[in-house]
């Protein structure tokens, strides 16, 4: 299982996500680096964790549908970059990017299917199963679901479209240090779809949380606040 450092970027700065209340996100304060500039923070996270994958949430795009943020980041770095900007473009910025189709932006199944079919990325895209306090955040009824509690039913739909990676995230848990709260859902997804790549995060506090998620069969864990706060530490990297 891999640790995937997260950068939430708003107005060109890395901010600290707290409970999905994006209107009140503030620039990060980090034990790693005295900066909130995206390039500087990204380098610090990679250096501290040794990660070969990072996750960038373009919050301006998610909120407004437009952004001036330039995602051409770390040009010399050859790792993988998950990019959450709401939907799938036909061609990501470069071959390192794995784009994410986000359920929370109200994506309809017809649009997601069409975007998936037209996607021309080198790396396969992912689908973000977005929750708040355990309930789906998005147009769940348009996906043929009877209740916002049926996140597993949503996974069934995106599997049919062709997605083989899901990111399960309860935004109410982000940045509050209460654990992810997604273990049961992730276990159910793993049981139904053994071949699915499952990534989760939001609220991870320490290695106990990480190990508990590993026991659920998770492939990757998204982490930000615990790294910046120093509650999740790593062997020193050169």
Residue 15: alpha-carbon gap to chain centroid: 15
Q: According to the model, what pLDDT value does residue 22 have?
A: 67
pLDDT in tens, the chain (238 residues): 899 999 988 877 898 877 666 667 788 888 888 998 888 999 999 999 999 999 998 877 665 554 444 556 788 899 999 998 878 876 777 889 899 998 988 778 999 999 999 888 888 999 999 999 999 998 999 999 999 999 999 999 999 999 999 999 998 888 676 777 899 999 999 999 999 999 999 888 889 989 999 998 999 999 998 999 888 988 754 4
pLDDT value of residue 200? 95
Cβ partners under 8 Å of residue 206, min gap 6? 226, 231, 232
Quote the CA–CA distance of 2 and 210 in Å, as a whole number. Answer: 10
How many angstroms separate the CA atoms of 166 and 38, rounded? Answer: 25
Residue 76, Ramachandran bin (φ over 0: left; ψ between -120 and 50: alpha; else beta): alpha
Tokens 């199963």, residue located: 129
Domain 2-229 has CATH 3.20.20.70: yes
pLDDT of residue 171: 86
Determine contact, residues 174/202, Cβ cutoff 8 Å: yes
> What is the length of the chain?
238
């Amino acid at each position: 299982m891999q640790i995937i450092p997260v950068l939430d970027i708003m107005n060109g700065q890395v901010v600290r996500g707290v409970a999905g209340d994006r209107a009140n996100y503030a620039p990060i304060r980090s034990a790693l680096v005295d900066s909130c500039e995206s390039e500087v923070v990204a380098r610090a996270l990679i250096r501290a964790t040794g990660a070969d994958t990072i996750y960038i949430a373009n919050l301006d795009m998610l909120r407004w549908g437009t952004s001036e943020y330039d995602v051409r980041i770390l040009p010399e770095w050859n790792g993988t970059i998950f990019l959450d900007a709401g939907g799938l473009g036909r061609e990501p910025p470069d071959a390192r990017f794995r784009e994410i189709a986000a359920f929370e932006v109200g994506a309809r199944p017809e649009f997601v299917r069409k975007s998936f079919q037209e996607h021309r990325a080198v790396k396969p895209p992912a689908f973000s199963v977005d929750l708040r306090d355990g309930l789906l955040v998005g147009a769940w009824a348009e996906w043929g679901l009877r209740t916002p509690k049926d996140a597993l039913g949503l996974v069934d739909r995106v599997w049919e479209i062709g997605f083989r990676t899901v990111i399960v995230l309860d935004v109410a848990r982000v940045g509050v240090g209460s654990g992810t709260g997604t273990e049961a859902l992730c276990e159910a997804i793993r049981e139904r779809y053994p071949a699915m790549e499952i990534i989760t995060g939001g609220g991870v506090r320490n290695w106990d949380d990480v190990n508990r998620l590993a026991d659920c069969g998770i492939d990757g864990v998204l982490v930000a606040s615990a790294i910046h706060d120093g509650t999740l530490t790593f062997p020193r990297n050169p």
